[in-house]
A and B are shown apart, each in its own frame.
Chain A
Amino acid sequence: MKRIFVQPDLCTACKTCEMQCAIEHSQAKNIFASPSEKPHPMNRVYVEAADGRKIPIFCRHCEDAPCVSACISGAMFRDPITDAVMCDSSRCIGCWTCVMVCPYGVIGRQLELGKAVKCDLCPDRESPACVASCPTKALQYEEVEGFSKNKRREFASAVAGG
């Protein structure tokens, strides 16, 4: 089971991940053609800044995912193979219950379609578009088991220490 891990101390807030995410989730998948598409391609990963520090905010694909449990239409589900939390657009009714319960605030609203959008870990790719495009390797796509405790500590101290 692979997950995206973030190392904020390496993030420069260049937002390449946001842009590549939106392109990957477009029809053309092309930096020139995608931006003018309708519906407008949306990113599902976010880079935020506070007090001069940068923090990539990503879906954690939570174990007991509140969005799956709260979904009133059966749109949110866990992919049995990748274990990723997915949104089935055909089922989504745009009630935004998932937006109300996501603890990280990473479920977006595609307003033209009235559908929720979220990280799907780019099922068609070896490595998610955000990770593959990150120029500083602040994002890594790794097996949860292999992502050592040390690295987690590095993250924690990077946030705490500033």
Chain B
Amino acid sequence: MRTVIVGASAAGMAAAEAVRKRDPNAEIVMLSDENHPPYYRPLIPYLIYKEKTGEDILRQARLTPSNLDLRLGVHSAHLDPKNHTLTLGQDDILSYDRLLIATGASPVRPEISGLEGPGVFTLRTWADADAIAEAAIGAKHVVILGAGRIGMKSAFALRHLGIQVAVVELLKRIVPQQLDEESAAIFAGTVAEAGIKTILGQTFKTVNHKDNKVTSVTLDDGSELKADLVIVGVGVRANLELAASGGLRVQHGLLVDEHLQTSEAHIFAAGDVVETKDILSGASIVSGIWTNAADMGRIAGDNMAGGSSTYEGAFSLLNAMELGGLPVVSVGDVQAQPGDGIEVFAERRGQTYRKLVFRRDRLIGLILVGQIERAGIYQTLIREKADVSPLRRELVGPRFHYGHYILSNPGITDRYVMAG
């Protein structure tokens, strides 16, 4: 029985581990189109300012399944589901019994004049980070398009190198998916203190080049910003080429059922390439979130090795990070407006902010800034769609703990005692 996994990041690795757990002797071939050995993608911003070396971001042996037939720098070009084969590169054929498509996603480049060519970068791979690090040598001005996670991580990384950084964001606040207005206002202060300039409600009109080098960026309102390099961080798009080459059903992502099986019975999918259901709303989403990818990988891998695990859906938002020394956790639907069964509790004290979004008896959204302790209990309540009506008073307080949950719901004590 040969299991082939295309992709060596969060989803692919979690799947390989799940296959190995169920079948210690399974043959597992993992293909990656990157030349670097498997690494932790979220750590690549550290490569830009040399806070970490390549060695530091590698996935360690203890977190890699044993006996993995890992093949690097291999492009999976074509899929033939009928014959259970992949074409690698030009004409190498690899057959499989079970296939996992975990090809991930690639950065989107909007159609803006001059946004191609030398001096314009995206940040998705180790190679991208190396390229930015090299271009940053001697650079004085960087302009970043998009104030999401990647845009802000890039901004802080380049500030560490002493470069003047401006971030341009179309929406009216930074990290717009993860933050609401109030929390974005807190982080606006942190970002400004770090010396990062943010320009909101604007986008690029053109990126201007001279002699094969970026010189400046012209914004919508006609203003011009000096730039030696430009970074684009406006989101990603699922890598669907392989799935499409085999005639699998795709829309915005690769379509799967609740077992993460594609339209072909022996082909599964996991991670950023997948189009799945929002765990809360049921809406169709393509999620670009590490934790979702790892969850999907574990479930797809288990099913590929003969299990029957069910995937409940992905969080459209499930992120923790620290920006400028201030931590934030955002989970679920954090933008819902009060009314029609929605209640919002929000409380700000200086740099600390707590926002809980309720839909009737359920908690559906959370933002914690500053004090993020025990965020996981909230996350679990959201994930499990627990009836939180007996806990309302404790939940909104800063000292909510697992003891409250146990006492309100003795049915879970068994889980607490037996877990592990």
> Using a CB–CB distance below 8 Å, which chain A residues touch chain B?
3, 5-6, 46, 48-51, 53, 55, 57, 60-64, 66, 69-70, 72-74, 77, 80, 93-109, 114, 144, 152, 155-156, 159-160
Contacts and interface: CB of A to CB of B under 8 A. Distances in A.
Contacts of B94: none
B417 A97 contact: no
Given A73-B40, A95-B42, A156-B417, A101 B403 contact: no
Given A49-B403, A159-B413, A73 B420 contact: no
B320 interface: yes
B144 to A, nearest CB: 20
A46 B401 contact: yes
Say whether chain A's binding surface is mostly helix, strand, loop, or mixed: mixed
B376 A94 contact: no
B417 A104 contact: no
A4 to B, nearest CB: 9
A156 B40 contact: no
Contacts of A104: 376-377, 402, 416
Given A57-B403, A105-B374, A69 B295 contact: yes
A62 B376 CA distance: 14
A103 B322 CA distance: 21
B191 interface: no
Query: Could you say which interface size class chain B belongs to?
Result: 35 or more
Interface in B321-364: 321-322, 327, 329, 331
A73 B60 CA distance: 10
Contacts of A97: 290-291, 320
Interface stretch (B201-209, B226-234, B404-412): B404-412
A63 B18 CA distance: 13
A94 B416 CA distance: 26
Contacts of B373: 99, 105, 108-109
Given A69-B295, A72-B290, A96-B321, 9 more contacts: A50-B407, A60-B419, A72-B41, A73-B42, A99-B374, A100-B320, A103-B376, A109-B373, A156-B417
6 contacts: A69-B294, A95-B42, A103-B376, A103-B402, A104-B377, A159-B406
Contacts of B418: 152
A156 B416 CA distance: 9
Contact of B63 (A74, A95, A106): A74
Contact of B372 (A60, A73, A99): A99
A40 B324 CA distance: 22
Contacts of B404: 48, 50
A12 to B, nearest CB: 15
Nearest to A68: B63
Contacts of A3: 420
Contacts of B420: 3, 60-63, 144
Contacts of A114: 322
A149 B420 CA distance: 15
Contacts of B377: 102-105
B245 interface: no
B290 A160 contact: no
Given A94-B322, A97-B291, A105 B40 contact: no
Contact of B376 (A50, A61, A95, A100): A100
Interface string B196-233: 00000000000000000000000000000000000000
A70 B296 CA distance: 12
B403 A99 contact: no
Contacts of A156: 410, 413-414, 417
B298 interface: yes
A6 B402 CA distance: 14
Given A101-B376, A104-B377, A144-B420, A72 B43 contact: yes
Contacts of A5: 417
A108 B376 CA distance: 11
Contacts of A61: 420
Contacts of A48: 401-404
Contact of A55 (B295, B379, B407): B407
A155 B413 contact: yes
B295 A62 contact: no
Contacts of A108: 373
